[in-house]
Amino acid sequence: MATARPGRTSSGRTSATRTTSTSTARPTPTTSRPSTTSRSSTSTTAPTPATTSTPTTNTAIHKLPGPRFYRLIRAALVVLTLVSSLICVIAIQASQNSQASMADSLVSTQNLHDLQVEVAQAESVALVWMADPTEDTWQQYLSARAQIDLLLMASAASAKPTDLNDVANALRDWQDAVTIAYYHGSKDTDDDAIDIAAITAAITMVDNRYNNLTSQLAKAITNSTPPSGSSPLTVIGLVAAVMALLGFVGALVLVAMRSHRIINLGLAIGLLAVIGIVAVMGAYHARPQQILTLNSQTTQLSQAAVDTWNTRSLNTLSILLPSRESAMIEAETIANSLHRNPVIISQNLTAQVSGLVARQQEIMNASESELVNQVALVANDKPWQTLATAIEASITSQRTDPPDLIASAQWSLVTVFLLCVTAAIATPAGINSRTKEYR
């Protein structure tokens, strides 16, 4: 009775409970370890999205090792510079023949235009002498004739022989007709009817042969006009220079992306040198077209000078020949067209043309009974000479000296060579500055 049952005592009950709770609580840390591991594994995989959000640099320019990448860029740029410059030099050198041919054609055209203007002036002076035979007027004709001979000799060096022979023959026929008219107009005879008939026939011959001479001159000028457009070789050179420029721009971008630095002095100098080559080839390619444009303007000005003297000749013919009474109307039409001529307006010659138009109106307003006044108005060449002199000054200021074409080719060759050497030296130096960073 005195002994108590095991487990029923408070101490025993307590110990049992502790034992049970202890035994059942031990697995708890083991069951909670996987969750700890899970948290740790989650924390290690959590930064993965962050790596995908950063910009990737695993591109083609970063696959090659740095030194090898820069060596390839350096070699490519040097080869590109040398090849494109060589093409440019060959293009300029080969196109010099066409440039020389253009220079010869330009000289021939200019001489023939000058000859055409001088013949028109001499025709007007000869006809005025027939209307008012004075020694001073005849000396003016002889002076113009001497100038014509000089221009014909100058044209012989560049014009086509066949065309020049036709012009020379027509010129000789016209001069013979003027000489015959001078003979009939200056000799003293008592038979006025025969004298007038002979003079009228001589004047008609002069007019007809002058028209033939102008036709031959127009044909010779057409055949000696410089060829249009630039040489295809210069186009090839310009394309090669542009391709080199694009290659330099691309290389500059690639090097900047690889090195993470934009400024590279060597590459910048090389790029500027290639830009210079492109500019030189562009200017050389455009030079012939600029010359053709100037030649077109001077051609129009020369024709305006011819029309100026033709108005004087037509007015004189209207006085001399009854069959050419309408020539005065034709002269008025030409004078008014000069006033509207775009090239005359562009050269600020409208004031001089206005003087010519005013003189034309004075001649038109003089009636047939005032024939003496008409002759006096035609004999005074001031309005025609003023306009012709102004036109000649404009022509002289716009004409291109043919030797400039040859000098342009030589200057372009030297410049391209120097720029090529500059690019070939500066470019590797700029690339080497980036290669040294890997040593």
CA distance 28 to 31: 5
User: What is the pLDDT at residue 367?
Assistant: 61
Measured distance CA(163)–CA(213) in Å, rounded: 12
Q: What 3-state class would DSSP assign to 193?
A: helix
What pLDDT sits at residue 430?
79
The confidence score (pLDDT) of residue 365 equals 86
Which pLDDT belongs to residue 83? 93
pLDDT in tens, the chain (439 residues): 344 444 444 444 434 434 333 334 444 444 444 444 433 444 444 444 444 444 444 455 455 556 777 788 888 889 999 999 999 999 888 887 777 777 778 888 888 999 999 999 999 999 999 988 889 999 999 999 999 999 988 887 766 778 889 999 999 999 999 999 888 877 644 445 456 778 888 899 999 999 999 999 999 888 887 776 567 888 899 999 999 999 989 888 888 787 777 777 888 898 999 999 999 999 888 887 777 877 888 889 999 999 999 999 999 999 888 878 788 899 999 999 998 989 899 889 999 999 999 999 888 888 656 778 888 899 998 999 999 999 999 988 887 666 566 677 888 889 999 999 999 998 888 778 766 655 5
Instruction: Give residue 404's pLDDT.
Output: 64
Q: What pLDDT was estimated at residue 229?
A: 59
- Residue 335 is predicted with a pLDDT of 92
Q: Where does residue 295 rank: exposed (0-12), middle (13-18), buried (19+ CB within 10 A)?
A: buried
Residue whose entry in the numeric block shows the structure tokens 């004739």? 145
Contacts of 109 (CB under 8 A, 6+ apart): 221, 224, 225, 226, 295, 299
Q: What is the 3-state secondary structure (H, E, C) of 358-427?
A: HHHHHHHHCCHHHHHHHHHHHHCCHHHHHHHHHHHHHHHHHCCCCHHHHHHHHHHHHHHHHHHHHHHHHH
| Per-residue pLDDT, 13 | 42
Please, what is the end-to-end C-alpha distance for the chain in angstroms? 100
Rounded-to-integer distance, Cα 392 and Cα 150, Å: 17
